[in-house]
Structure 1
Amino acid sequence: MSTAKPINVYSIPELNQTLDEALPSIFARLNYERSYALLDTKLYIGYSIAVVAGLSFFLDKKFERSEIILYQKLLVGAYVVLSLMFWYFTRFVEKGTVYTGKNRDTKEEIYVKTKFEKNEPLYLVGLIQKKKGNSSRKDLKTKLEVNKVFNESGYLQNEVLFKWFSEQLNVLATKKNI
């Protein structure tokens, strides 16, 4: 099985986007249900920033400056705090996670982080597996040569990618807990 359209396999952004977009279907076949907790948290913080900015604009348009100066100072403070929360969340909590899911059977959580470095066609994948209700954690960092999952025409071979991730999860299962 391959994607509907070919991509330019010499374009790192296209490779990254195509491979990241394939993760939900790959992990669904591996019995993982996608979790949106990280994305929801990021959205809540972002919407809160927008509400604070909108409220500040509304107060500025409806009232005189002398009437709202204290409220504007509070809103600017809230905006700064929320912006710092957003920065901290994306930098230290989310840390490049592109997929999170929970195994339907074992209740394990999986976190997948991906990136390309130095414009090389190596898909760097970090897998983190956590057991629910337990502090045990397993990490695996691995590399995928993209020419193994794309054919010469630029089509993604989903079956090969599925097999590769399945093998990586088997390696992760044999690792000891951290």
Structure 2
Amino acid sequence: MSALKKTNLNSVVQLRTTVDENLATSLAALGYTQSFSLIDTKLVLGYSTVLIAVGLYFADKKFGFNAIFNQTVAAIVIYSILNVALWYLTSTAAYKDVKYIGHDNKGNQIKVATWTTGYEPLYHVKISTTTGTKKKVNTLESTFEFTKLFDGIGYYKEEQLTKLFETELEKIGKKSI
């Protein structure tokens, strides 16, 4: 369906977004199923902080600040802890720019982080695979030109991304031997 949507070839952000949105489709073609645990965790943490803020607002309106001072301090501490956890999941090296986490039917895990730098039409990809019972982690960083993933008019070529990932996963497999 996304192949029917035309992308602005002059916008690096739109190019990256289009490819990021189609990662799951390409990796599904290679036998991976997406795991939403990281996304769900971020959502729960984010919504929890909003609920704390809303609860404090209404409690302050109903009871007054002095009456709920101790509860406010406790809520601020919990709010801070949740925000630190959310920051950790979005900013630290282990999770920064992670757009896809999935697994195959053998229990191997794949984590894909993607980014662009400035206005360069380059798609940077870091693929990490975790294989075996000993949880051996293999990592490979690559860079693709967006011209390989889009035609001259701006239509996304899904099969090209699938082939690129297949090639990169083969490199990781050879590297782990």
| TM-score bracket for this pair, using the shorter chain length | over 0.9
In 1: Cα distance, 2:163 partner to 2:140 partner = 16
- Answer whether contact 1:128 1:140 (CA < 8 A) is retained: yes
Matches within 5 A, 1:3-42: 3-42=3-42
Give the deviation of 1:65 after TM superposition: 2.6
- Answer whether contact 1:98 1:113 (CA < 8 A) is retained: yes
Give the deviation of 1:160 after TM superposition: 1.7
Give the deviation of 1:132 after TM superposition: 5.4
Indicate the residue corresponding to 2:104 in structure 1: 103
One-letter amino acid of the counterpart of residue 158, structure 1: E
Indicate the residue corresponding to 2:143 in structure 1: 143
- Structure 1 residue runs of 5 or longer lacking an equivalent are none
**Structure 2 CA distance for partners of 1:132 and 1:47, relative to 1, 3 Å:** farther
1:172 matches 2:159? no
Superposed CA deviations along residues 88-145 of structure 1, whole A, max 9, x for unmatched, are 22112421100111012x2100000001113111110100000254231000000111
One-letter amino acid of the counterpart of residue 151, structure 1: D
In 1: Cα distance, 2:133 partner to 2:62 partner = 51
Indicate the residue corresponding to 2:45 in structure 1: 45
Percent identical pairs in the alignment equals 32
In 2: Cα distance, 1:151 partner to 1:28 partner = 22
Partner SS for 1:175: helix
One-letter amino acid of the counterpart of residue 25, structure 2: S
In 1: Cα distance, 2:42 partner to 2:98 partner = 12
Superposed CA deviations along residues 59-102 of structure 1, whole A, max 9, x for unmatched, are 11111332111111111222122212211221124211001110
- The list of structure 1 runs, each at least 4 consecutive aligned residues, that deviate by more than 6 angstroms after superposition, is none
Give the deviation of 1:27 after TM superposition: 0.6
Indicate the residue corresponding to 2:73 in structure 1: 73
TM-score when normalising by structure 2: 0.93
In 1: Cα distance, 2:4 partner to 2:51 partner = 40
Matches within 5 A, 1:148-167: 148-167=148-167
